[in-house]
């Protein structure tokens, strides 16, 4: 059922452990209304225990609900309400309601402070330090501290109230004793939790950090690739660099600041460290580092920029004419690595204060993973393929380049109705609809149009379904397996079958490039990357500017045909794709390719590694100069 939901909501609609306590509490409502005390006792007790067992579970839904801050407290209040509903049916003396209501309410209120204590101090016991590909033994925390960190101080008092309210039907005195005992247990449990986690938990945390420190020292890492705090949706910003980072000749580590990103990160042979606590990162000795590469601008980069020894370089997570590609924040880095001259020119035109010597052209080494031999163009029944990959609507109106808010639906309508046989691959951006629901609505409409076109042609396959490679040991191998999976998937389809590629479907943008004869897109890094294939592309003009003004503002569009906001230009482009008319942009596209991506020789991978070596040498010279200055 989740496939019918917008992409932005789909991760939260999947059943997970977060819903278990809520589901059990809701199930207890009917037995409570019927006065079935034992049923309520079992269901509410199970709900309370499930709350403790899932307290530290990491899921997309829990991430979302954590924004409210009182999810667990709300469920606890729901359990109390169910108990009072049950009591109305089974208590022979209505005065019994007073102690259980007051005791339950006190526990709900006190649980707010208890949860603050547990969540704050539990990080000392189970520090959110996760590692991959590092020889660190996963030591077990002390049993008592582990149980307390899982919320024992919350469970026992609530179970006392649940058992008492479900079983005591006549004695008001006994009800008061149980209620008072529950409140005292909550208070004592909170104090004990605080004491134990401050001692045993802190000691365990210190050992964990020490193990990480020793592992880093043993590797003598000189290069760090860094991604700051963010949701799992931002993991692509780092994943696009993993294969490139694996080819860096110097020892390299990956540092992330978010547990969801760590768990969502694809395969890599590089050591990966997740440090969510700023204090943990600040305590680590990173003096061996000489180069820090940043893929995104997040406020927490200051925790690594403060290191004296390494030089910093912003490498970004895409190269495009978007305004986000020349963010003034970039001034904080020692160097800004751009793909080609176009990147430096963007910053220069924006006049944000970067010096010419800060720019280093490294190309786009990620594009080495694109297999340009995948298209079976020699087939007698060959049908050319157009990839439509619109960007999302951006965080604000200044970054709104999304054709789904303009000509997107018209483009797809004209393509599906084209007299030429053309296959469509539709791949919306993962963030589509986050800011503007209209973009998501148009995307859903396009998917419905594609499904209808396939059904009318007697074709069932609409959505890409290849699974992500799980057996890979590195990002490089994962890319190779992904290409093989993409080849197998497209080979299994009828030549005319249109395809929808949803986020996390197992088919990446490079696999779409490999099986596309042409591209329709917006101003985005997709355009800049696709131009490496040398194949035709069209760019959607999201505004009312003339084509000349549009190209003047966005030079990457110069090598493609322009599709106006009303969809005009789509037919001309499809004629080029179907070889009905010659391609008018062949020579210009070659010029734009070099302007955007730099020269073909030396390769982008070679230029990237040369830039790494040069940055390390700069760092060493600075360290030597600082040392000489301190001795004079």
Q: Which residues of 417-447 are buried (b: 16+ CB within 10 A; e: fewer)?
A: ebeeebbbbbbbbebbbbbbeebbebbbebb
What local confidence, expressed as pLDDT, does residue 54 receive?
77
Q: Using one digit for the tens of pLDDT, what is the confidence trace for 474-502? A: 888 888 888 888 888 888 888 889 999 98
Local structure of 73: helix, strand or coil: helix
Lowest mean pLDDT among 181-195, 598-612, 614-628: 181-195
What's the confidence (pLDDT) of residue 124?
60
Per-residue confidence band for 1, with pLDDT thresholds at 50, 70 and 90 = very low
For 134, the token pair is 């590092």
Note the pLDDT tens digit of each residue in 512-534: 999 999 999 998 889 989 999 99
Written as six digits, the tokens of 126 are: 């189970």
Q: How confident is the model over 531-548, as pLDDT tens digits? A: 999 999 999 998 877 888
- Rounded CA separation 331/352 (Å): 8
Residues forming a β-bridge with 335: 313
Give the other-Cβ count within 10 Å of 341's Cβ: 16
24 vs 131: CA distance, rounded Å = 35
User: In the chain, what is the straight-line distance between the N-terminal and C-terminal CA atoms, in Å?
Assistant: 72
β 335-338/311-314 pair status: parallel
The DSSP symbol for 306 reads T
Q: Which domains, from first to last, does the chain contain?
A: 11-132+139-211 (no CATH), 220-363 (3.40.50.2000), 368-597 (3.40.50.2000)
User: Is the pTM above the cut of 0.85?
Assistant: no
Residue 470 has pLDDT above 80, yes or no: no
- Work out whether strand 423-426 and strand 252-256 pair parallel, antiparallel, or are unpaired: unpaired
Question: Which H helix or E strand runs over 293?
Answer: strand 291-294
Q: Which pLDDT belongs to residue 68?
A: 46
Distance from C-alpha of 631 to C-alpha of 344, rounded to nearest angstrom? 39
Give the tens place of pLDDT for each residue, 92-139.
888 999 999 999 899 888 887 777 766 666 666 566 678 888 887 655
- Residue 15's pLDDT is what? 58
Give residue 464's pLDDT: 66
Tens of pLDDT, residues 343-394? 888 888 878 888 889 999 999 998 888 888 877 766 677 899 999 999 988 8
What is the average per-residue pLDDT within 570-584? 92
Judged by average pLDDT, the poorest of 22-31, 81-90, 169-178, 539-548 is: 539-548
Q: Is the pLDDT reported for residue 616 higher than 90? A: yes
Q: Enter the DSSP assignment of 321.
A: S
pLDDT (0 to 100) of residue 67: 47
Residue with tokens 């339950």: 104
Question: In this structure, how many other beta carbons lie within 10 angstroms of the beta carbon of residue 473?
Answer: 11
pLDDT for 468 beyond 80: no
Give 224: exposed, middle or buried? Use CB within 10 Å, 0-12, 13-18, 19+.
buried
């Amino acid at each position: 059922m989740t496939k019918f939901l917008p992409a932005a909501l789909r991760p939260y609609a999947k059943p997970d452990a977060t819903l278990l306590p809520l589901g059990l509490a809701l199930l207890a409502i009917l037995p409570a209304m019927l006065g079935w005390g034992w049923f309520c006792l079992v269901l509410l007790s199970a709900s309370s225990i499930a709350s403790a067992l899932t307290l530290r579970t990491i899921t997309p839904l829990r991430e979302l609900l954590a924004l409210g801050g009182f999810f667990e407290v709300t469920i606890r209040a729901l359990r109390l309400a169910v108990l009072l509903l049950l009591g109305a049916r089974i208590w022979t003396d209505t005065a019994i309601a007073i102690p259980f209501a007051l005791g339950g309410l006190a526990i709900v209120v006190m649980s707010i402070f208890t949860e603050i204590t547990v969540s704050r101090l539990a990080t000392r016991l189970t520090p959110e330090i996760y590692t991959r590909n590092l020889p660190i033994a996963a030591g077990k925390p002390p049993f008592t501290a582990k149980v307390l960190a899982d919320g024992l101080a919350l469970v026992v008092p609530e179970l006392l109230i649940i058992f008492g309210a479900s079983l005591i039907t006549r004695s008001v005195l006994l009800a008061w004793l149980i209620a008072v005992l529950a409140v005292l247990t909550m208070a004592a449990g909170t104090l004990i939790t605080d004491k134990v986690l401050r001692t045993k938990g802190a000691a365990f945390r210190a050992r964990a950090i020490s193990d990480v420190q020793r592992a880093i020292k043993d590797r003598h890492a000189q290069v760090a690739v860094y991604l700051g705090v963010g949701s799992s949706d931002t993991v692509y910003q780092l994943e696009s660099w993993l294969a490139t980072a694996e080819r860096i000749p110097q020892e390299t580590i990956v540092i992330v600041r978010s547990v969801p990103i760590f768990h969502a990160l694809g395969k890599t042979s590089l050591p990966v460290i997740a440090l969510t606590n700023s204090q943990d990162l600040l305590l680590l000795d990173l003096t061996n580092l000489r180069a820090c590469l940043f893929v995104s601008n997040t406020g927490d980069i200051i925790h690594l920029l403060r290191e004296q020894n390494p030089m910093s370089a912003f490498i970004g997570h895409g190269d495009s004419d978007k305004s986000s590609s020349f963010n003034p924040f970039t001034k904080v880095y020692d160097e800004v690595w751009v793909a080609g001259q176009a990147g430096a020119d963007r910053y220069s035109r924006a006049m944000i204060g970067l010096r010419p010597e800060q720019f280093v052209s490294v190309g786009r080494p990620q594009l080495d993973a694109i297999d340009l031999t995948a298209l079976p163009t020699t087939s007698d029944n060959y049908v050319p393929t157009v990839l439509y990959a619109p960007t999302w609507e951006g965080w604000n109106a200044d970054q709104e380049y999304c054709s789904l808010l303009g000509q997107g639906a018209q483009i797809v309508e004209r393509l599906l109705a084209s007299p030429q046989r053309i296959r469509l691959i539709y791949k919306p951006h993962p963030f589509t609809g986050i800011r503007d629901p209209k973009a998501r609505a148009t995307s859903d409409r396009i998917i419905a149009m594609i499904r209808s076109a396939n059904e009318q042609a007697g074709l069932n396959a609409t959505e890409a379904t290849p699974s992500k490679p799980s057996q890979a040991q590195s990002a490089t191998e994962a890319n190779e397996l992904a290409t093989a999976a993409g080849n197998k998937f497209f080979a299994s389809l009828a030549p005319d079958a249109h395809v929808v590629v949803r986020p996390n479907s197992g088919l990446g943008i490079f696999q779409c490039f490999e099986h596309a004869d042409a591209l329709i897109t917006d101003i985005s890094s997709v355009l800049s990357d696709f131009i490496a294939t040398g194949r035709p592309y069209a760019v959607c003009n999201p505004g009312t500017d003339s084509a000349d003004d549009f190209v003047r503002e966005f030079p990457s569009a110069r090598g493609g045909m322009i599709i106006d906001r009303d969809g005009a230009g789509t037919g001309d482009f499809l004629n080029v794709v179907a070889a009905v008319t010659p391609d008018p942009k062949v020579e210009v596209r070659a010029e734009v390719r070099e302007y955007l991506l730099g020269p073909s020789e030396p390769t982008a991978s070679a230029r990237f590694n040369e830039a790494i070596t040069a940055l390390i040498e700069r760092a060493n010279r600075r360290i030597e100069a600082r040392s000489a200055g301190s001795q004079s």
